[in-house]
Amino acid sequence: MGSTIRATGLTRVYRGEGNPRPAVQDVSLEVATGEFVALMGPSGCGKSTLLNMLGGIDRPDAGEVWVAGQRIDGLSETRLALFRRKHVGIVFQFFNLIQNLDVVANIELPGLLGRGSTAAVRVRARELMSVLGLSELAGKMPGKLSGGERQRVAIARALINGPTVLLADEPTGALDQENGQGVLRLFQELHRDKGQTIVMVTHDPKVAAYAGRILVMQDGRLVEESRPAEARMGRLAARLLGTRG
Q: What is the pLDDT along the chain (245 residues), one digit of tens a residue?
A: 688 999 999 999 988 777 888 999 999 999 999 999 999 999 999 999 999 999 999 999 999 999 999 999 999 999 999 999 999 999 988 888 999 999 999 999 999 987 778 999 999 999 999 988 899 999 999 999 999 999 999 999 999 999 999 999 999 988 889 889 989 999 999 999 989 999 999 999 999 999 999 999 999 999 999 888 655 544 544 454 554 44
Q: Are 33 and 4 in contact (CB under 8 A)?
A: yes
Query: What string of DSSP letters covers 184-225?
Result: HHHHHHHHHHH--EEEEEES-HHHHTTSSEEEEEETTEEEEE
Domain count, the chain: 1
> In terms of residue numbers, what domain contains 197?
3-244
How many other CB atoms are there within 10 angstroms of residue 41's CB atom?
24
- Relative to beta strand 197-202, strand 3-14 is unpaired
Q: What is the pTM of this model?
A: 0.88
CATH number at residue 83: 3.40.50.300
